[in-house]
DNA sequence: CCCGCAACTGCAAACCATTTGCAGCTCGGC
DNA sequence: GCCGAGCTGCAAATGGTTTGCAGTTGCGGG
């Protein structure tokens, strides 16, 4: 066939099922967005998602609204790589999506970082300051091998 | 007098001196911006800086340009608390500005976090992926004591 | 298979933070 | 005091994101 999705990608049916379960409609734009997202290995911007949609299906505003819905349902996770553009990736059912990245400052290549430094410290900081429901965001920035030795 | 600055704040002269040393002009808007910044204990947005300027001194565009200059000179550090607004704080001479925060998701109150947990991890991740000049950004988000028990 | 209607879409306008073009003003070295 | 590069003020442009609204469609019920 074509454009194989990563092995771990949830099947499209499972994704649409999650929508129906919450009384959300399974529309052409939403299916196309989900189909696109399940093929990605890195977070995608909404403009990228829009550009990848089949001709005539979906509108940029619809992509924004759909992604927002998916985010509110916990089906995608949002990332901020510091360039003023939000990026999203699909989340497996039940997955919390906690993840970190190493981003090339020049070409924006993204590497996923497995480690998460101790949640103990997070708890400690929360307690020390009387904060609740504390989470964190941690991203690394650098120059990837290809971009070394020739900064603009 | 009025509006005392934090004890550690560099005197205004020292700040303007840093400008002159690099052939930058000491103008009224720039002085007002620096005066404002040295009184802050938390990072301020450019709109906040602008609003705090004396009547008739400075323009929002000038604030943007000035802050950009200060950033390029390493005199201020930029922060991204995830709400789409950049914030800045003055840096002491030679200070690298590496710092983390605990931010209230609701009222945006900011607490500084002294520890840097990610230094070792950073080195390790850089080597493993062949990246150079790696830095990181780490922020914590939660609900501050005042905001607990009444989310919108 | 057809209805009815809330949910959803497409398109355009609005928003907001940030950037930029440009003509006139000012800092600071001479 | 003079002059030129550096700055400023104002207004218009950008670019990502949001919103209003009228028309369309998914889908449960008949
Ligand atoms: Mn983590
Ligand atoms: Mn750190
Ligand atoms: Zn690169
Ligand atoms: Zn709060």
Task: Give the tens place of pLDDT for each residue, A56-104.
Answer: 999 999 999 999 999 999 999 999 888 899 999 999 998 888 889 999 9
> A77 to chain B nearest CA, in Å?
14
Kindly report the pTM of this predicted structure: 0.86
Provide the residue ranges of all domains of chain A, joining segments of one domain with +.
1-93, 98-152
The Å distance, CA of A140 to C1' of D27, is 46
Q: Which CATH number fits domain B98-152: 3.30.1490.190, 3.40.50.1360, 3.30.70.250, 3.30.365.10?
A: 3.30.1490.190
Indicate the pLDDT class of residue A152, thresholds 50, 70 and 90. Answer: very low
* b/e burial code for range A10-28 (CB count within 10 A of at least 16 → b): beeeebbebbeeeeeeeee
Give pLDDT, residue A1: 45
Contact A100, B117 (CB under 8 A): no
Contact positions of strand C to protein Cβ (< 7 A)? 7-13, 17-21, 26-29
Tell if B65 CB is < 7 Å from nucleic strand D: yes
> What is the mean pLDDT, run by run of 10 residues, along chain B of 152 residues?
71 95 97 97 95 95 98 94 92 88 87 85 94 92 87 46
Distance CA B137, CA B19 (A): 28
Give pLDDT, residue B102: 93
Our separate counts of H helices and E strands in chain A read 5, 6
Domain A1-93 CATH assignment equals 1.10.760.10 = no
The Å distance, CA of A61 to C1' of C11, is 9
Q: Is the pLDDT of residue A15 over 60?
A: yes
Distance CA A28, CA A42 (A): 23
- Lookup: tokens for A109: 């290549």
Beta bridge pairs of residue B45: B87
User: Strand (E) positions, chain B?
Assistant: 44-45, 76-80, 86-90, 100-104, 110-113, 132-143
Closest CA to A136 of B118, B110, B138: B138
The Å distance, CA of B22 to C1' of C28, is 13
CA A29, A32, A37 angle in degrees (round to 5)? 125
Distance CA B21, CA A136 (A): 39
A82: nearest CA in chain B?
B80
B102:A134 CB<8 A = yes
Distance CA A22, CA B48 (A): 42
Tell if B46 CB is < 7 Å from nucleic strand D: no
Sign of CA dihedral A104, A110, A114, A118: positive
Contact B143, B103 (CB under 8 A): no
């Amino acid at each position: 066939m074509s454009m194989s999705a990563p092995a771990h990608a949830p099947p499209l049916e499972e994704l649409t099922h999650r929508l129906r379960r919450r009384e959300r409609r399974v529309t052409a734009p939403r299916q196309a967005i989900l189909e696109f997202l399940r093929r990605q290995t890195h977070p995608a911007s909404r403009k990228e998602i829009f550009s990848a949609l089949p001709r005539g299906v979906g509108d940029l505003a619809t992509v924004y609204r759909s992604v927002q819905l998916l985010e509110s349902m916990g089906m995608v996770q949002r990332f901020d790589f510091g360039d003023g553009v939000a990026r999203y990736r699909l989340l497996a059912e039940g997955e919390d999506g906690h993840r970190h990245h190493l981003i090339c400052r020049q070409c924006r290549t993204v590497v996923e970082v497995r480690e998460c430094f101790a949640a103990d410290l997070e708890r400690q900081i929360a307690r020390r300051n009387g904060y609740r429901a504390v989470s964190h965001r941690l991203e690394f920035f650098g120059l990837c091998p290809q971009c070394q030795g020739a900064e603009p």
